[in-house]
Amino acid sequence: MLAAPIPAILGREPLVARRDPSPYETLETAFGLLTSGLDPLSPDGRLIGHGLPAHPIPLDELRSMLLHPSMSFAARDAAVAELARLARHDRGAAMVGLARVLLPGLRRLTTPTSTAAGSHRTRVGRPSDTRSRTASV
């Protein structure tokens, strides 16, 4: 006769290592919920202007448009301004949507980087003064 595993005897599941999701992963999950279903979060392209479609644009599509290299900085700025306006007014879902659209930039700011020449970047993404002076000599 085989003995029952101890966790079954104690009425508990076996202990396993669990990793809490990062804030970025949590934001991705919430964004996925906001952009799926029958009524996804969709800012109005007419309010953004700058050549964007003149109808409600699902936020995941807008995010893809804004990340495309052909998108002008003026259009990106207008879209972020409209998303910020929505986030201030509606809070909740619009705030999560704004944060997710800004996530690529946030990741660049918070991820340590270094160049092949060895110049380290500061927290805001600019080369540190000491390193950039020595690298340019």
| Distance (Å, whole) CA 42 – CA 61 | 9
Strand, helix or coil at 56? strand
The answer, yes or no, to whether residue 128 has pLDDT greater than 90, is no
Asked whether the beta carbons of 101 and 31 are under 8 A apart, the reply is: no
Asked whether the beta carbons of 50 and 57 are under 8 A apart, the reply is: no
**8 vs 46 pLDDT, higher one:** 46
Q: What is the pTM of this model?
A: 0.63
